[in-house]
Chains A and B, each alone.
Chain A
Amino acid sequence: MALAEAVAWVTAATVLGLVSGFALLATAAAGIVFLLHPTSDRRVRFLAVGAQATLQLILLLAIHRAYNAHELEVFWARRHDAYLDFDVNPVRFGDELLDHVSRVAHVFPGNSGWWPTLCVIVALLGLAGAALTKRSSASAVRARYLLVAIWAAYSTSSRSGQREAGLLFSLPITRVASAHHCG
């Protein structure tokens, strides 16, 4: 990767991340995947993603100062059960996770009962299989990207995760994404 390409990456990711909270999370996930697939350009990629992370962190700081995160959290929690409640009991937490994840499929026709849950489980298994088996193919990179994106969305929508990571988890994206679109 040449320096010009690195600059282009940082510029594109930063500009796209400005569009919305969803785009910010998506570009951050792309940065992680970008970093995980180096050829002989590990250093340049590291610098590019580091610059992207720095710029997006500044953006996050600006966003965080623009609204009351606590009030927004109260709203999403009360109205939409937006957050994952961590439980040390793996069965209970698994049930909670499944409940939230299945909401991803609620936008599709026939979205009642066990059908959305089944669709999401099959999709996640397919992505996991593709991500683990085909090391450098396009479909493997695509699958890894999507898995990183959903991991980021759900880890930031966990109450315990928010406490641990502070500012990052005050992102509006986590509220919107978890409440409306991914549970």
Chain B
Amino acid sequence: MWLIPLLAVGLAVSLQALRTLSVDRRWRRVGFDAVLYLIAATVLITAVGHDAPPYALPGSESAVKFVQSELGKDDALLVIQGGHYQFALESDFDASIRARPQESIGFVPEFADPRVHVVEFAFDRPDSPRVSRRTRAAIRGVNRVIVYSGSHIFSFKFLFRLDHVLRSEGFRNRAAFNFVGENVSIWERPRGGAAPR
């Protein structure tokens, strides 16, 4: 996008050079201008005729509101990497920023509410044992888990891993909701069921 001026100025310079070549004949110059105006009008008309592309990250506000309304005092909320930034923006949870120069994005939101856990993974190691350990620690002692994942799910391998961790801890997927680009799933441990050891 930031190189658009290059394209705009470059095309303008090229067209100007072509126009200069036809300057000796008035009718050629008029014809050249007419063709250019026609092309410009065509570009505008064809662009107006289409629906605008949807925003790349729709649904985060409604998804976050839904999560907030569903989250009970004894639940755990797993905010999956890729959704934690919009979650911090849209939610009412108190969030602060922590520097982390060892990661690809050098800062991360942290939530004061102990029920909210950001689950992150490395792009080249989406199923590392460290992530599984953190996830297990986050859901320890709770019987209901809400998983919020934004539209930027970078690794399905990670999601499969998360699914495996939750199931191995005795949770079952009770409901799944899609908010255009955002996903929310609710996991519960059956009553009387204990986490397998």
Contacts and interface: CB of A to CB of B under 8 A. Distances in A.
A123 B104 contact: no
28 contacts: A67-B101, A67-B106, A68-B103, A71-B104, A74-B104, A74-B123, A74-B124, A75-B123, A79-B154, A104-B6, A105-B7, A107-B4, A109-B46, A120-B7, A123-B14, A126-B12, A126-B13, A127-B6, A127-B10, A129-B13, A139-B13, A143-B10, A143-B13, A146-B6, A146-B9, A150-B6, A177-B2, A177-B3
Contact of A122 (B1, B11, B99): B11
B71 to A, nearest CB: 30
A105 B8 CA distance: 10
Contacts of B154: 75, 79
Given A181-B1, A182-B3, A75 B14 contact: no
Contacts of B10: 120, 122-127, 143, 146
Interface string B105-117: 1110000000000
Interface in B1-38: 1-17
B69 interface: no
A104 B107 CA distance: 29
Given A104-B3, A110-B46, A71 B13 contact: no
B47 interface: yes
B51 to A, nearest CB: 13
Contacts, number: 102
A180 interface: yes
Contact of A126 (B1, B14, B43, B101): B14
Given A65-B101, A71-B122, A109 B43 contact: yes
Interface string A111-148: 00000000110111111011000000001001100100
Interface of A: 22, 26, 65-68, 71-72, 74-75, 78-79, 104-105, 107-110, 119-120, 122-127, 129-130, 139, 142-143, 146, 149-150, 153, 177, 180-182
A119 B7 contact: yes
A66 B106 contact: yes
